[in-house]
Chains A and B, each alone.
Chain A
Amino acid sequence: MRINTVEELDKLAKSLKEQKSAEIIIKTCAGTGCMSSDSAKILKNFEILLKHHGLDNKVSFQPTGCFGFCEQGPIVKVNDVFYVQVTPKDVNEIIQSHIIDGKPVERLLYRDKTTGEAVKSFDDIQFYKRQMRIALRNCGDINPESLEDYIARDGYKALAKSLAMSPQDVINEIKQSGLRGRGGAGFPTGVKWEIAANSAGKKKFVLCNADEGDPGAFMDRSILEGDPNSVIEAMAICAYSIGADEGVIYIRAEYPLAVHRLETAIKQATEAGLLGENIFGTNFSFKISLSLGAGAFVCGEETSLMNSVEGLRGEPRVKPPFPAENGLWQKPSNINNVETYANICPIILNGGAWFSKIGTEKSKGTKVFALAGKINNVGLVEVPMGTTLREVIFEIGEGIRNGKALKAVQTGGPSGGCIPAECLDMPIDYESLVSIGSMMGSGGMIVMDEDDCMVDVAKFYLDFTVDESCGKCTPCRIGNLRLKEILEKICAGNGEEKDLIKLKELGEIIKDTSLCGLGQTAPNPILSTMNYFMDEYEAHVKEKRCPAGKCKDLLQYKIDPTKCVGCTLCAKNCPTDAISGEVKVAHKIEQDKCIKCGTCIQKCRFEAISRG
């Protein structure tokens, strides 16, 4: 299949749309999360059993990208009916009851958490109700390995429309939309494109940053796995507007499925003439290649990424010159992240004015968040900018697991901060998050409850940045290591009051003097937790106590003699024989023998053992 003109694209899209609307389509999530819980077997069973029932010509089944509702996976959708936690064994019942007898399988429907009633349709589920899906528009809805599916959803129409506009008009449309970079810093995308367009030089590059290294964030991966063409098409639009003819997608080698889907999509688009020479019969030519990362968080920084594409150590370059003037192979380059590109086609098709109506004054459009941690509904959510954290966590996420209390929300990953419960009503946008000491980041949102120790969390992030610091500049290489050592000292119960002052001072210096974004933001997890949870730091330092009961060196296990009946169960199970006592007499723990493993608490049937 080769598409030579815009008319051919329109004709194909029309016939595909008609064909799709008449079918019964079974969609099974084949994102990394659901694949980990047997969705490949579910797909296989559909294939075998549809054939067995002689339905393989009437019913089509397909893998799709992530539906976002990972907590309830694997997910299967039969037209509009949404089944959750499906196992390979359930496939026959779905075919027999739903497809043949026309009765949806009640027991596999999602049940509303408050009413307990079964919810049939996707749109009525609490998790989806408040979402607005622009970047994720096709995720979970199309077969990511089918170009036809994408074209049936107006795919490549935005590229066709752009090629009929002048490059400057395309840039103006993006500028008008108010779209800002979704990778973290929030630089206006249209302005970035304009600088690259105005840079002198015949050879230019368009890059896509798919090096999603933020631990606990999986937005970009889901877009690439679920709708790879949306990124490819947007890169082509960008290339046309800045005058580039070559694109590179830099992607983590740890995302094999996304790599495979991108390779497939690039191959199909090239065969269809949507990439390559003289696209749609115009003078515009564009090709894309993949460049695999090799596990270095710093490569998410744009100049480190370019060094890595060039086969070098991924160390940042000094800016200026900025990549728009002097980027990959010293040529002018535009670089955006996956989610930014995923917003481009809808902006071109619906207009910049449409997009700029969504969101807040300075932050337009929507943002995708990877909601994870101690939350009931783990998953991917896309909400308009300006939605409050409370809405995301308590309405879409349906609150905290096991009925615990929320302590903090971490956004921005290792570069961000912990937001306390009292800031939950703050509308989410770039500026508001910075004003409370965190940042948008790429969209990781980790929910923490009363059992999480904020000092321990800060230490966790510092461990990460110390490990990932490339070592080029001293403040980041040495400074962060010193911060980590101080935190370790505090968590081990050896903290002094002057350490708290040092943490703050050194943190500020590292922010001011580091070369790249990694070092400039690395102290944020410490500074923000010190700002909002100073009482926890003080408890560690002054009282040698960890209020959340996480820091092992500060814990003491004690037996309440009024509750202990002397059943000896704890003593029998203690791996270090730290518990002694006679039968039917209250037992005691010898603190210097205790390794704080927690076995005794688990074994005690009388709640006589406490930790604190």
Chain B
Amino acid sequence: MNENDKQLAELDSYIDSFDTKKGKLIVSLHKAQDIYGYLSVDIQKHIAKRLGIPASKVYGVVTFYSFFNTTPKGKYSIDVCMGTACFVRGSADVLEEFKSQLKIDVGGTTEDGLFSLDSIRCVGACGLAPVVSVNGKVHGRVTRADVSKILDDYKSKEATA
């Protein structure tokens, strides 16, 4: 079995494990995103077929929830917290700095596929505000000046890997 088949088999066996297919769309999407990292149109169609619901309905749900992405993310996913606590401590400036250094907009991915940038709502680590999370690792009390250091750390990790 190649990688693609394996991934598909994992998703299918998950969907087949439900005793009823009623109400299982969102959990199936969570599972698919876990496996693939994002939800392509093909995968959305596949899930629709498996659950016996129209593809338009699947698309409607996918685009409703911000947790689901329809395009692949970068290897390092940078999330700048834009919760109120971080906002009043300057996270908007930090986000601007990431945008200008990475030359991408919020929701974008760098051309080399290394970084993607998003703003998120409150990680809950307000004591460390403003907070930036890179692949779930939280960097606290980030200032504009820290941005290039954070990026360099990940870039050098990549160079030595």
Residues of A within 8 A of B (CB): 32-33, 35-37, 70-71, 73, 213-218, 221-222, 253-256, 291-297, 308-314, 329, 370, 372-374, 378-379, 410, 413, 444, 446, 448, 452, 457, 460-461, 464, 470
Contact = CB atoms under 8 A, between A and B. Distances in A.
Contact of B61 (A255, A312, A372): A312
B55 interface: no
B67 A254 contact: yes
A460 B87 contact: yes
Contacts of A215: 82-85, 87, 121-122
Closest 3 CB pairs between A and B? A70-B127, A294-B65, A372-B85
A444 B123 contact: no
B8 interface: no
Given A36-B140, A37-B128, A215-B83, A292 B88 contact: no
Interface stretch (B9-17, B21-29, B108-116, B146-154): B21-29
Interface string B54-88: 00000011001111100000000000001111111
A464 B92 CA distance: 13
A101 to B, nearest CB: 32
Interface residues of B, number: 37
A311 B25 contact: yes
Given A215-B84, A372-B85, A372-B129, A37 B68 contact: no
Instruction: Count chain B CB atoms within 10 A of each CB in A329, A444, A448 and give the residue with the most.
Output: A444
Nearest to A66: B124
A217 B60 CA distance: 29
A71 B122 contact: no
B101 to A, nearest CB: 13
Contact of A373 (B22, B27, B89, B125): B89
Interface string B31-60: 000000000000000000000000000001
Nearest to B24: A311
Contact of A254 (B29, B68, B120): B120
Nearest to B53: A311
A522 B89 CA distance: 23
Nearest to B60: A313
18 contacts: A32-B138, A35-B138, A36-B138, A70-B126, A216-B85, A216-B86, A217-B122, A218-B126, A254-B120, A254-B121, A292-B27, A294-B26, A311-B22, A311-B24, A372-B85, A446-B88, A448-B88, A464-B121
Contacts of B83: 215-216
Interface string B90-134: 000000000000000000000000000000111111111101000
Contacts of A310: 22-23
Given A70-B128, A221-B124, 20 more contacts: A33-B124, A36-B125, A36-B138, A215-B87, A216-B85, A254-B123, A255-B124, A294-B29, A295-B66, A295-B68, A309-B23, A311-B22, A311-B24, A313-B60, A314-B65, A372-B84, A372-B85, A446-B88, A448-B88, A461-B84
A311 B121 contact: no
Contacts of A313: 60-61, 64
Contacts of A308: 26
Instruction: Count chain B CB atoms within 10 A of each CB in A218, A293, A296, A461 and give the residue with the most.
Output: A218
B32 to A, nearest CB: 12
A217 B81 CA distance: 13
Given A215-B82, A218-B122, A309-B23, A36 B128 contact: yes
Contact of A70 (B68, B122, B125): B125
A224 to B, nearest CB: 11
Contacts of A370: 126
Contacts of B140: 36-37
Nearest to B123: A32
B125 A33 contact: yes
Given A36-B140, A311-B26, A374 B122 contact: no
A70 B89 CA distance: 16
A253 B127 contact: no
A216 B128 contact: no
A373 B130 CA distance: 10
A340 B72 CA distance: 39
Contacts of A32: 123-125, 138
A221 B140 CA distance: 19
A264 to B, nearest CB: 19
B85 A446 contact: yes
A215 B22 CA distance: 32
A255 B121 CA distance: 11
B140 to A, nearest CB: 6
A125 to B, nearest CB: 15
Contacts of B25: 311-312
Instruction: Count chain A CB atoms within 10 A of each CB in B67, B122, B136 and give the residue with the most.
Output: B122
Nearest to A297: B121
B27 A372 contact: no
A247 to B, nearest CB: 15
A35 B137 CA distance: 10
B40 to A, nearest CB: 17
Nearest to A375: B85
